[in-house]
Structure 1
Amino acid sequence: MDLTPASYGPGDVRPPSGPAGPPRELRPYLDELVRRIRAVCGPRPVSVLAVGSVALGDYRHGRSDVDVTVVVEGSLPHRERAELAARLVHPALPCPAAGLELVVYPAAFTARPSGDAGYLMDLNTGPSLPERVSYDPGESPAFWYVLDRSVARQCGLSLAGRPVREVIAAPRRPAVLAALRASVREHAGGEGHVADNRVLNGCRSVVYCRTGHWYAKRGAAEIVAAAEAGFRPLISDALRSFSRPRESALALPGARVRDFLGWVADRVDESVEAEVGDGVRAEDADRPGGGG
């Protein structure tokens, strides 16, 4: 069965509600993280949000990263950004998850839709993540940040400050689809990505294209597996692997993963083409005599 709008669309399935709060295992860490952000940045932080798997209600201790978005008023001097990174880096602040991915944005940037990276600071740290800090958004592919802000807008979980819908504008659908295209290409390359994560991210991409909603990886995988019998064994193996710590993830057949991601890329391309077609039709309808 194909996952087409006729057989599966926005009216068929809705994403589950996000959690009321972060998982118990993370609460002391996130409380301290917020405290350190405020200690370094003073009154500038407008909002601190948990995004990613924590916000989607699918955090898996020992496997998932903690994704945090910080929105600040104005900007931060380089000295403060460097101090913030030094205060949050593992093990200066021991991360109980596989890693911390924290991005700081200026409020003026997040208040409008954008397809750019736009960050003031991007920090990756933790027991299972290569340490990285960047203060220049030109150093990073923009698609990661577009997708993160799209997820944040749907279900970002407020840890401090204003709620997400007051501080982050949803990226426009064409920008999200372009980011998904780039993401699928990145995962198809495979370098630096666990195989199960490549498959599950592919599932999430397809479900977003069909519904306009973000699902947790496992929920999206179950939806695609139910509709695509040919990929069901691979998705089942990916889910089984995803239940294990990152360091003991299962090896998945490379050819099957590549075939699956090729199918995902085709579905994303179909959505991009449909979006372009809808735009052309809307333009035609706006012309005198159009739409008749």
Structure 2
Amino acid sequence: MGTETEPFRTVPAEVRPYLAELVRRTHAVCGPRLTGVVAVGSLALGDYRHGRSDVDVTVLVAGPPPAATLRELADALDHRRLPCPAAGLELVVYPADFARVPSGEAGYLLDLNTGAHLPGRAAFDPAGGPSFWYVIDRSVAHQDGIALYGPPAPELIAAPGPADLYAAVRASVREHGDGEGHLADNRVLNGCRSVVHCRTGRWLAKRAAAGQVAATEAEFRPLIEAAVRSFERPRAAALPLPGPQVRSFLARVRALVDESAAAAGA
């Protein structure tokens, strides 16, 4: 089916067999429509932590394929049929033609969440939902995505334009500022990653971004360091962080993002 062994050596050993089987099943369902499978998120940024991180995957298909094919794919990759060794699988399927063009839209054909620590979800219509998750993921994929099947990630997935990306980062910071459904450490570290991206134009692993922000934001250094310590633990053992400090830090993040956006004219 054209899958090379080399890309799988660049992902953690704990998830290699799972990803190989995921690619095999995706190819079996999609057939010649399948144009690419890309590892994104913490796998792409070199910050995957077993027992804490999700496996994030982007799939590109020519088509779009029939709805029945997408439902078959969701069933084939469901945790009950293909147990995910990570905290969960977050997989997004895009039309290949859509992904090759910069966009601020969600644009997916299938958004699948499944796993021991994720609420199950299989969505087939992005209308009415937030788009920022997908815009940021495509930006990470263009920068550092690991092609598990098909051409290199930058050939498959375009980088969003600056205005769309700043809008997505702002929406992400607002989402984590509200906090509902997110671990406190993840809220802080995503804020750090947003700040570093706005300053440098690069996505960094969460812990690397935390180090940079802690060095320049002395007021919040103890909070950021506590978030890193918590992130190094399994999800179930995450450390509590003081809510008012987390909210104050994310307000600071919003201000820094707005400053960078204004300087960039976005």
User: Under a length normalisation based on structure 2, what TM-score does the superposition of the two structures give?
Assistant: 0.96
Letter paired with 2:137: D
Aligned partner of 1:61 in structure 2 is 50
Matched ranges for 1:270-285 at <5 A: 270-276=259-265
Partner deviation per Cα, 1:180-218 (whole Å, 9 max, x = no partner): 100000000000000000000000000000000000000
Q: Assess if the C-alpha contact under 8 Å between 1:47 and 1:161 holds in 2.
A: yes
Partner deviation per Cα, 1:27-62 (whole Å, 9 max, x = no partner): 000000000001111111111000000010110000
Letter paired with 1:193: H
1:140 Cα deviation after fit: 2.4
In the alignment, is residue 229 of structure 1 matched against residue 214 of structure 2? no
SS of 1:92's partner is coil
In the alignment, is residue 125 of structure 1 matched against residue 111 of structure 2? no
Q: Computing the radius of gyration over CA atoms, which structure comes out larger, 1 or 2?
A: 1
Moved over 2 A (4+): none
Aligned partner of 2:90 in structure 1 is 101
Structure 2 alignment gaps of length 5 or more: 1-6
Letter paired with 2:119: P
In the alignment, is residue 142 of structure 1 matched against residue 142 of structure 2? no
Greater Cα shift, 161-170 or 250-259:
161-170
1:162 Cα deviation after fit: 1.2
**C-alpha distance in structure 1 between counterparts of 2:143 and 2:190, whole Å:** 17
Q: Assess if the C-alpha contact under 8 Å between 1:184 and 1:202 holds in 2.
A: yes
Superposed CA RMSD: 1.3
Matched ranges for 1:161-180 at <5 A: 161-180=150-169
Aligned partner of 1:114 in structure 2 is 103
Partner deviation per Cα, 1:96-136 (whole Å, 9 max, x = no partner): 00010000000110111000000000000111111111000
**C-alpha distance in structure 1 between counterparts of 2:199 and 2:260, whole Å:** 8
In the alignment, is residue 191 of structure 1 matched against residue 217 of structure 2? no
Aligned partner of 1:210 in structure 2 is 199
Partner deviation per Cα, 1:82-103 (whole Å, 9 max, x = no partner): 1100010112100000010000
Letter paired with 2:48: Y
SS of 1:133's partner is strand
**C-alpha distance in structure 2 between counterparts of 1:169 and 1:180, whole Å:** 17
Aligned partner of 1:152 in structure 2 is 141
**C-alpha distance in structure 1 between counterparts of 2:15 and 2:96, whole Å:** 26
Sequence identity (%) = 64
Letter paired with 1:38: H
Letter paired with 1:63: R
SS of 1:266's partner is helix
- State the aligned residue count: 260
In the alignment, is residue 44 of structure 1 matched against residue 44 of structure 2? no
**C-alpha distance in structure 2 between counterparts of 1:48 and 1:117, whole Å:** 18
Aligned partner of 2:239 in structure 1 is 250
Q: Assess if the C-alpha contact under 8 Å between 1:48 and 1:68 holds in 2.
A: yes
Letter paired with 1:210: R
1:19 Cα deviation after fit: 9.7
**C-alpha distance in structure 2 between counterparts of 1:141 and 1:168, whole Å:** 19
**C-alpha distance in structure 1 between counterparts of 2:66 and 2:21, whole Å:** 22
